[in-house]
Amino acid sequence: MSSQIATRGKTTSAELVSSTYDKLGKNISKYRQITNKPLTLSEKILIGHLNESTDLTEFNGLTAGNGYILLNPDRVALQDVTGQTTLLQFMQSGIKHVKVPATVHCDHLIQARVGSEPDTKAAIYENNEVYKFLESASRKYGLGFWKPGAGIIHQVVLENYAFPGGLMIGTDSHTPNAGGLGMLAIGVGGLDAAEVMAGLPWEVLYPKRIGVYLTGKLNGWTSPKDIILYVASKLTVSGGTNAIIEYFGPGARNVSCTGKATITNMGAEIGATCSVFSYDDKMESYLNSTGRSYIAELANKNKDMLTQDPTIEEEIAKDRQNASKYFDQLIEINLDELEPYIVGPHTPDLARPISQMAQDVQQNNYLDTISVSLIGSCTNSSYEDMSRAADIAKQALEKGIKTRSPLQVTPGSEMIRETIERDGQIQLLREIGANVLANACGPCIGQWSRPEIKKGEPNTIVTSYNRNFPGRNDGRRETMNFIGSPEVVIALALGGRLSFNPLKDELEAKDGTKFRLQPPKIAPEVPPSGFKDTANIYVPPSEDPNSVTVDIDKNSQRLQALQPFSKWDGKDFEKLPILAKVKGKCTTDHISPAGPWLMYRGHLDRLSDNLLLGAVNSFRDSEVGKGLNLLDNNVETFAHVAREYKQNGMKWIIIGDKNYGEGSSREHAAMTPRYLGCAAVIAKSFARIHETNLKKQGILALTFVDPSDYDKIRENDSVSIIDLHNIRPKSVVTAVLSHQDGSEENIKLVHSYNDAQLEWFKAGSALNILKNKA
């Protein structure tokens, strides 16, 4: 096989970038004839990717959050867990080859147990059937395949595929990582991805715009991580819902490309559609360093399309009130004054400057002793991150001390791992006690074996990860995860206490003297000697796809061919039981937990046994994951109750709280309820991706007109949703609550369906419509 064939699809081609810029230029030019207002970067990229059927005049009349737009993404990225159902759904379409460039990345199924090499070998053995399926399907249908150990999807995409001004969708909520390289990159459900791979446009609610105006320059202990932790504290976990966050200002141009990616990555934690920075010298340097000078040259020639119109920043610099002409909200951060932040536990928006952490530990009775410290992940494993962390390690070694808590390091990709092995950062971290894990998600997503912690034992961990919901990292709700930058995490590991403040507290050297850690030195943003090249981690699409067979064993415990969901029978939902009335935060991790369940993500029936395992039932606070079975009045797991209802021909309903379904993009959190008989989810509000996933799978997603109606719903109630044959876009839907005492109450519900989405509901799923179109 020639080297050209062997690497086909391993990076974004100049032809794709050039054609994207041609379309951007034409569309933006046409749009400027309609309106003469200055354009933000996100507007330019959206306009440049509008489907050909779009009337630019009508687009100009849209207001944020009102109306859907059709876009043509430049590429699709799949990971090995959500990618299984994406490919299974794509295969049902009958289409023989993907219509847009796409890749699969094997990063989620490697469990952290011992260390990099043994854990990767174990994963290849344990998941052999799944990897064979993913590789053969990729080769047959035209996707690039990145092997286990190649790296975490978002880091590999940043290194190889992201480009300024592009539009990408990915089946992982942290897809927006690529916004650090000036790309609109958006997390979606698997069926969204399958449709785009099949050549259909992608539909999204026209997003609001939130501007983050940065001035000054990061210094001392403060890092790019602290910017997004501060933003999360201001916007909360739902403040960015249906919005693109656009970072700009002189301070933005001082942040490295990979630092920008850290910031856009964690936009997922505030519900943002995506986040983005304008193209600048930092991005040019990163493109050149990762072997993509040809993209940098094209970007330099088209810089006006890849940056916010300068008038916007000029106007806002003069008067912040001018921001309202371009953004729905403005946040301003002076980087000169920003402190290091720590967020947590249990939510990424519970934030405080590190100077307040000791006080919070005391006031909230947090466990001060740190059980494990972890750095890396897709969010913070760049060369710059690891160099700053290694600088702190070097200071410790010079004083003869090691970490007081175990330290785990997760490189983001094989390219990063080989480079920091060569340049010595890994060795410095090892010498203070670090264990290097596989280039995979591992503890960040629940793929973490912790036999040393007893079940139910409270403990504190500190990480440089992005997500910290209860049970997220190790399956234990008692584990409290506090998030900070890699350098702060290393300092806390050396101090051994959550309350340790490296800015002022002292450590004891081996000789008994006291010393204070110095802020990490300014680190190189890219390796002075260049990144180390990697080999044997990528498999290109087949030159002869007809010769490739994709087999799924009918007796497999890991993979299951999908069967179409039945279409709506045209009848109202009459007196359906309530499976669960969820109380408080209910993420997709609570609806369809990861951890050991990841191995069944390609087998819908087996996976469905995890339904709502982490959800708190408002009727039974102490019975997490359980509810009342109205058939026998026993309290059982939600999955068991749902299966009994299904066996008895009964559909059922879930009642949700605020921002229901926040977090991961996993469509399994919609597929498993649908498979077990869920007809509707009624919530106070939805997270963007999950609401779309529910719609796509044929579940009716409704919200209360009056959120206080949530309180009217009782455990033994049945719910009727009536007059469904008259449901229309923006129409009000009536639900009837039938109480056990014989009384009834009507409540009003609304929805966000447009005409095309209502067809998904009537057809039983969007996949059924895709099959008909194919």
Residues assigned a catalytic role: 107-108, 172, 467, 664, 666
Distance of alpha carbon 619 from its chain centroid, rounded?
31
β-strand partners of 343: 351, 483
Contact status, residue 158 vs residue 261, Cβ threshold 8 Å: yes
- For 677, phi then psi, to 5°, come to 110, 15
Closest CA to 716 of 621, 630, 648: 630
Enter the tokens of residue 298.
């094209």
Of the candidates 101, 78, 73, 79, the one whose C-alpha atom is nearest the C-alpha of residue 11 is 101
Q: Where are the alpha helices (DSSP H) in 356-479?
A: 357-364, 383-398, 414-423, 425-431
Q: Output the DSSP codes for 106-158.
A: --SS--BSS-HHHHHHHHHHHTHHHHHHHHHHHHHHT-EEEPTTSB-HHHHHH
Give the Cβ contact number of residue 82 at 10 Å.
26
Strands 573-581 and 718-722: antiparallel
Contacts of 514 (CB under 8 A, 6+ apart): 506, 507, 508
**Per DSSP, what are the bridge partners of residue 248?**
213
Distance CA(676)–CA(577), nearest Å, equals: 13
**Closest to 693 measured CA to CA, from 769, 771, 757:** 757
Two structure tokens written together for 111: 């469990």
Strands 184-187 and 167-170, sheet pairing = parallel
Residue 53 CA to its chain's centroid (Å)? 30
| Cβ-contact 695, 188 below 8 angstroms | no
Q: How many whole angstroms separate alpha carbon 550 and alpha carbon 568?
A: 32
Asked whether 552 and 563 are in contact (CB, 8 A), the reply is: no
Distance separating alpha carbons of residues 679 and 575, to the nearest angstrom: 12
Taking the C-alpha atoms of residue 162 and residue 264, their distance in angstroms, rounded to an integer, is 13
Give 29-32 contacts, CB < 8 A, sequence gap 24+.
30/56, 31/56, 31/59, 31/60
Q: Are 80 and 440 in contact (CB under 8 A)?
A: no
What are 454's two structure tokens? 């007893």
* Paired strand residues for 704: 749
Q: Token pair for residue 202?
A: 């992608």
For 529, the token pair is 């000697």
Taking alpha carbons only, the member of 344, 522, 490, 340 closest to residue 409 is 490
Beta bridge partners of 1: none
Strand-pair category, 678-683 with 351-353: unpaired
- Give the Cα separation of 144 and 146 in Å (integer): 7
d(CA 607, CA 592): 8
**C-alpha distance from residue 626 to each of 500, 610, 722, 760 (Å):** 39, 11, 28, 30
Task: Decide if 732 contacts 705 (C-beta within 8 A).
Answer: yes
CB burial string 537-554: b at 16+ within 10 A, e below: bbbbbeeeeeeeebebee
639 in Cβ contact with 678 (< 8 Å) = no
